[in-house]
Amino acid sequence: MCLIDDILKHKSVSVVGMAKNTGKTVTLNYVLEHMAGSGKCIAVSSIGVDGESIDRVTATEKPEITIYEGMFFTTSEKHYQTRRLSAEIYHLSSYNTSLGRLVTAKAVTTGQVLLSGPADTLHLQQLIRQHTQYGVDLTLVDGALSRLSIASPVITDALILATGAAISANIEQVVRSTKHIYNMIQLPQAPTGLTQKLSSLAHGIWEIDGEGAVKQTAVSSALFLGRGQNLELSQNTEYVFVSGVITDNLLHYLRMQTYVDKVVLVARDFTKIFASAEAYRAYVRKGGQIQVLYKSQLLAITINPVAPQGYVLNSRHLQQAMQAAMEIPVYNVKEM
């Protein structure tokens, strides 16, 4: 039960998938089942729409999310009405989603429910804080397709990453793709003083010199680099903070500059890094470095060797290859 023990050390944990059908919902169901006898008060929700019995993208059957007696859950009015369990409503929000207001309830019996939580991270943060009012010890958050933003340390304390055969029929490719996300999660944290100075900056690209002075550059967005805007830095610049996303274009531009190995690029957290593995490696080869203001804590990687297309990877080989490439526990929860 090492995975469960690690999860219970935190107040909020997100379960995110590398892609659709990588076993994210199976992982969440496993965790919920083993949390049922933990003696802890558990809450669960999602960001956006999830928990469908049929996957909207691949038309494959998806496991339902099981809520156990005594657990709290938050979902939309529409999905609350279709629940297959008895529950007591604790809160009906004024926040509207496309499926109605959000209902927070406590399960009176064990059963299934479709989860459809807030559509944005701001309201998800508020929801997690709200859960603490009901004595909740741990909130589990189920992510939606490509929404790694819920894994931001600003949102949840830690994360579990689900990966598997849906990414590729080749084990080496699955490992490479997962390793890139793993590398981004493991990026070093910037000095504490920088976090205090930069956390409130919401727009633009900023330079920080050796004395800690912060100055906004003439570049309004990384999207305009090399397209009429150039990043001209002072000689004593030590850090460059990008308040938005870091892309292939940005890393390509920076590795062409003479200062590439003299300044450290800073992102808000790993979910802001949209650069490919190839662009990142090329940037690092030129001496480039990336740090983050907020560092995420990865608890484990879970694998799903079955692809929606029908092929099945060797589970043991996939787990061994993943474990050899990354210094983190790797589980197939169906074999635990």
Give me the residue label for tokens 């979902």. Answer: 75
Q: Give the residue ranges of the chain where pLDDT is below 50.
A: 51-54, 56-60
Bridge-based pairing state of the strands 87-97 and 65-67: unpaired
The dihedral built from the CA positions of residue 294, 156, 39 and 17, taken in this order, carries a sign that is: negative
Could you tell me the CA-to-CA distances from 112 to 30, 53, 77 in Å, in that order? 14, 10, 15
Task: Name the residue ranges covered by the structural domains of the chain.
Answer: 2-186+296-335, 192-292
The 3-state secondary structure of 91-127, one letter per residue: EEEEEEECCEEEEEEEECCCEEECCECCCCHHHHHHH
Residue 87's DSSP bridge partners are 107
pLDDT of res. 190? 95
pLDDT of res. 95? 86
pLDDT of res. 144? 57
Distance CA 144, CA 163 (A): 14
CA-closest candidate to residue 66, choices 19, 107, 12: 107
Q: What φ, ψ does residue 245 adopt, rounded to 5°? A: -95, 150
Q: One fold for both 2-186+296-335 and 192-292?
A: no
pLDDT of res. 33? 96
Strand extents, DSSP E, the chain? 12-17, 42-46, 65-67, 72-76, 87-97, 100-107, 111-113, 138-142, 158-164, 205-209, 214-216, 237-242, 264-267, 289-292, 298-304, 330-331
Distance CA 236, CA 171 (A): 45
Architecture of domain 192-292: 3-Layer(aba) Sandwich (3.40)
pLDDT of res. 59? 46
Taking only the tens place, the pLDDT of each residue in 273-329 is 999 999 999 999 999 999 999 999 999 999 999 999 899 999 999 999 999 999 999
- With a CB cutoff of 8 Å and minimum separation 6, the contacts of 255 are 282, 283, 286, 288
Q: Which CATH code is given to the segment(s) 2-186+296-335? A: 3.40.50
Q: What φ, ψ does residue 103 adopt, rounded to 5°? A: -110, 125
